[in-house]
């Protein structure tokens, strides 16, 4: 692992490739040796130039190893560093038939959970649903398919058990799960997608998501439904709502007509403001690009995981280092070539030659 960056004056930071103690020992040893050779060879101009050049090479190499730089913004976060929480309204109103014509809103919710999970592949996902109570359907998991499947089989609450619900019913459970995720890994960002219609049917005052907001790093509130409203089928807990032919009645009206559920976008915008995220009204003709772009492209990160990017400056030293190293290699290669072609002393012009051009032994001696 690369040692942590160390701050220096004048906004310079370093990211050494070796631990500081090891870099210091190696650097001092190399600098001391080359400096000693410079002093030792000061009487020979050619050798003096060579050792001065090597001293400069060592100094530049140490600068490169220290990796100096200047802060240059925030590093892009990874999708793999995200916790994605889906908070889904499963009250009877989520079955209102005003999605893509006369389809239940729940179809749009399921499709969007699937699409967001696909766009943020590699993240960890959790699914929370709420009606009269909040339920953790899927804890944080790397298995996106498990969350998508859980959403696909999720139905509205059983109509006969419905006693009114609050749009903030899941606030405490969400805050608890967000805090647990933050404590387990502070560097992972928490992204929350709240999917609902904003219709408050409880007589209790509307609560708040303020307790959860501190651990929310991104996401969106997605609104489903129309101002004209839609009818809702009765769900008895068996099969699914599609198998029913009976609609929920509005018993407060004369003649008990079919009840209509109307989206409350003001309430949804309030939830979005409390969570610190954007609100988007959803329809079947548009995708989820607008609400996943930041998370997918790395613009969402936790405070702990948001690392400052550094603009490297080591290349300024690396360029002359490369040129000097190239020069040194060239000089060494030339010296080696000179050694190979230089004639031996006994091969001079006056040397006597024996058979096949070999030098003859000195006069008066015979070879042993």
- Kindly report the CATH number assigned to the domain that includes residue 226: 3.40.50.410
Q: How far is CA 95 from the centre of its chain?
A: 36
Average pLDDT of the residues in 244-269: 91
Pairwise pLDDT comparison (116 vs 362), residue with the higher score? 116
* Three-state secondary-structure class, residue 320: helix
> Is position 341 within any domain?
no
Pairwise pLDDT comparison (59 vs 10), residue with the higher score? 59
* Residues 172 and 61 reside in one and the same domain: no
Confidence of residue 237 (pLDDT cuts 50, 70, 90): confident
Q: Give the tokens for residue 79.
A: 């999708």
Average pLDDT of the residues in 264-268: 96
Average pLDDT of the residues in 141-164: 89
Cα–Cα distance measured from residue 44 to residue 48, given in angstroms and rounded to the nearest whole number? 6
For residue 2, is pLDDT > 50?
no
Q: Write down the pLDDT at residue 328.
A: 82
221, 277 Cβ separation under 8 angstroms: yes
* Residues 298 and 317 reside in one and the same domain: no
Domain stops at, among 306, 327, 349: 306
* Residues 146 and 60 reside in one and the same domain: no
241, 107 Cβ separation under 8 angstroms: no
Confidence of residue 303 (pLDDT cuts 50, 70, 90): low
Average pLDDT of the residues in 241-260: 85
Pairwise pLDDT comparison (174 vs 132), residue with the higher score? 174
Q: Give the tokens for residue 204.
A: 């209790």
* Three-state secondary-structure class, residue 83: strand
For residue 9, is pLDDT > 50?
no
> Is position 294 within any domain?
yes
Q: Write down the pLDDT at residue 337.
A: 79
Angstrom CA distances, 257 to 227, 248, 249, stand at 18, 9, 6
For residue 159, is pLDDT > 90?
no
Q: Write down the pLDDT at residue 335.
A: 78
> Is position 346 within any domain?
no
Mean pLDDT is lowest, of 48-57, 106-115, 310-319, for: 310-319
Tell me the DSSP string of 179-244: HHHHHH-TTSEEEEEEEE------SSPP---HHHHTT--EEEEEE---SS-EE-B---SSS-GGG-
* Residues 11 and 116 reside in one and the same domain: no
Q: Residue 124: which domain range?
A: 79-306
For residue 362, is pLDDT > 60?
no
Q: Write down the pLDDT at residue 361.
A: 52
* Residues 288 and 211 reside in one and the same domain: yes
Pairwise pLDDT comparison (237 vs 150), residue with the higher score? 150
For residue 4, is pLDDT > 60?
no
* Residues 196 and 320 reside in one and the same domain: no
* Residues 135 and 265 reside in one and the same domain: yes
Cα–Cα distance measured from residue 212 to residue 175, given in angstroms and rounded to the nearest whole number? 4
* Residues 291 and 328 reside in one and the same domain: no
For residue 1, is pLDDT > 50?
no
For residue 261, is pLDDT > 50?
yes
Tens of pLDDT, residues 25-60: 999 999 999 999 889 988 888 888 888 988 899 999
* Residues 176 and 296 reside in one and the same domain: yes
223, 268 Cβ separation under 8 angstroms: yes
> Is position 91 within any domain?
yes
Cα–Cα distance measured from residue 50 to residue 27, given in angstroms and rounded to the nearest whole number? 19
Dihedral angle over CA of 206, 130, 125, 210, nearest 10: 10
> Is position 68 within any domain?
yes
Longest dimension (CA), the chain: 144
> Is position 351 within any domain?
no
Average pLDDT of the residues in 270-297: 94
> Is position 366 within any domain?
no
Mean pLDDT is lowest, of 100-114, 197-211, 341-355, for: 341-355
User: pTM here?
Assistant: 0.66
Cα–Cα distance measured from residue 164 to residue 17, given in angstroms and rounded to the nearest whole number? 61
For residue 210, is pLDDT > 80?
yes
* Residues 205 and 255 reside in one and the same domain: yes
* Residues 47 and 121 reside in one and the same domain: no
* Residues 295 and 176 reside in one and the same domain: yes
Count of domains in the chain? Answer: 2
Average of per-residue pLDDT values in the chain: 85
Confidence of residue 368 (pLDDT cuts 50, 70, 90): very low
Residue 192: how many other CB atoms lie within 10 Å = 27
> Is position 63 within any domain?
yes
């Amino acid at each position: 692992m690369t040692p942590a960056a160390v701050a220096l004056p004048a906004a310079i930071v370093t990211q050494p490739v070796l631990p500081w103690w090891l870099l210091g020992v190696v650097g001092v040893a190399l600098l001391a040796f080359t400096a000693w050779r410079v002093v030792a060879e000061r009487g020979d101009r050619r050798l003096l130039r060579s050792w001065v050049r090597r001293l400069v090479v060592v100094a530049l190499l140490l600068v490169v190893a220290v990796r100096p730089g200047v802060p240059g913004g925030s590093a892009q976060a990874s999708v793999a560093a995200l916790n994605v929480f889906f908070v889904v309204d499963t009250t009877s109103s989520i079955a209102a038939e005003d999605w893509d014509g006369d389809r239940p809103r729940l179809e749009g919710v399921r499709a969007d959970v699937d699409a967001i999970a696909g766009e943020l592949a590699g993240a960890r996902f959790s699914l929370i649903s709420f009606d009269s109570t909040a339920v953790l359907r899927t804890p944080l998991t790397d298995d996106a398919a498990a969350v998508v499947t859980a959403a696909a089989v999720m139905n509205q609450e059983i109509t006969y058990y419905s006693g009114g619900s609050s749009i903030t019913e899941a606030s405490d459970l969400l805050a608890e799960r967000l805090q647990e995720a933050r404590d387990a890994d502070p560097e992972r960002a928490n992204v929350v997608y709240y999917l609902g219609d904003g219709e408050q049917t409880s007589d209790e005052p509307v609560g708040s998501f303020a307790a959860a907001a501190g651990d929310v790093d991104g996401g969106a509130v997605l609104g489903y439904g129309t101002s004209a409203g839609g009818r809702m089928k009765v769900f008895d807990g068996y099969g699914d709502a599609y198998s029913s032919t009976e609609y929920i009645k509005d018993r407060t009206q004369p003649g008990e007509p079919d009840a209509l559920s109307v989206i409350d976008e003001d309430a949804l915008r309030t939830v979005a403001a409390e969570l610190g995220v954007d609100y988007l009204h959803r329809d079947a003709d548009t995708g989820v690009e607008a609400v996943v772009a930041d998370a997918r492209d790395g613009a969402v990160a936790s405070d702990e995981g948001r690392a400052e990017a550094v603009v490297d400056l080591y290349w300024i030293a690396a360029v002359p280092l490369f040129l000097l190293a190239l020069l040194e290699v060239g000089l060494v290669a030339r010296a080696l070539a000179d050694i190979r072609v230089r004639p031996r002393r006994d091969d001079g012009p006056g040397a006597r030659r024996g058979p096949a051009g070999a030098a003859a032994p000195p006069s008066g001696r015979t070879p042993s």
